[in-house]
Amino acid sequence: MSSERCALFPGTFDPFTNGHLDLTRRAARMFDRVVVAVAHNPGKGAFFPVEERVEMIQLTIKRLPRVEVIEFSDLVVDCARRVGAQVMVRGIRAVSDFEYEFQMALMNRRLNPGLEVAFLMPSQQYTYLNATLVKEVARLGGRVRGLVPPLVEERLKRRLRAVSAAAGAPSRTRAKRARRRPA
């Protein structure tokens, strides 16, 4: 049996935020190996396809030693078993997160009693941050700089432009020009 301490950090990461990056870095300091596991989770209606989420995370964490990225579509405990993880890392921003995460930890313990759960708190500047808020701010034209890695910010903008163009909605630039034109 290997003495390597491996942690699994699962999530949908749609998109991968600076809060996720912060927790990945923290976990990498605590464990010999960290596996960021990107869930397919079709029930959540992902903004980015799983392959693109994996690619963005890989590019974002490429300088972090001993961190790898995979995708999974089965039970998280089965994913943990496949990669040899003894610990699952979960982020907790507020008390409201704890109730849900506690229930999930107990169910996962029932499914795999050997898998421990480590709750990590993000840095203070990321305690309010979640992927749903980032997507909503981006959709409504707000700035997401500093909330997500630069690569993710660019991909968000590109995806929103493509969605807008497909829906026939004017881009923000075209809308600004149209407002400037005298009638």
Tens of pLDDT, residues 72-85: 999 999 999 999 99
Tell me which amino acid residue 142 is: G
Question: d(Cα 3, Cα 39) in Å, to the nearest integer?
Answer: 27
Q: Distance between CA 162 and CA 157 in Å, rounded?
A: 9
Reply yes or no on whether the pLDDT at 176 is more than 60: no
pLDDT of the residue at 170: 59
Q: Which residues pair with 11 in a beta bridge?
A: 38
User: Exposure of 65 by Cβ count < 10 A (0-12 exposed, 13-18 middle, 19+ buried)?
Assistant: exposed
pLDDT grade for 45, boundaries at 50, 70 and 90: confident
Q: Which two tokens stand for residue 58?
A: 């890989």
Q: How buried is residue 178: exposed, middle or buried, by Cβ count under 10 Å (0-12/13-18/19+)?
A: exposed
Question: Taking the mean position of all CA atoms in its chain, how far away is CA 88?
Answer: 15
Mean pLDDT, the chain, rounded, equals: 90
| Domain assignments of the chain as residue spans, ordered by start | 6-128
Is the pTM of the predicted complex or chain greater than 0.85? yes
pLDDT band at 97 (very low <50, low <70, confident <90, very high): confident
Phi/psi at 34 (5° precision) = -125, 130
As a whole number of angstroms, the distance between CA 37 and CA 168 comes to: 35
CATH classification code of 6-128: 3.40.50.620
Q: Three-class SS string for 132-147?
A: HHHHHHHHCCCCCECC
Residue 46: which residues within 8 A CB-CB, separation 6 or more? Answer: 12, 14, 53
What percent of the chain has pLDDT above 70? 90
Is the CB of residue 24 less than 8 Å from the CB of residue 67? Answer: yes
Task: Check pLDDT > 90 for residue 20.
Answer: yes
Higher per-residue confidence, 27 vs 43: 27
Q: What is the pLDDT of residues 116-165, one digit of tens each?
A: 999 999 999 999 999 999 999 999 999 999 999 999 999 999 998 888 78
Cis peptide before 42 (omega within 30 of 0): no
**pLDDT for the residue numbered 171:** 52
Q: Would you say residue 169 has pLDDT above 90? A: no
From 96, 72, 66, 62, select the one nearest 6 (Cα to Cα). 66
pLDDT confidence tier of residue 53, bands split at 50, 70 and 90: very high
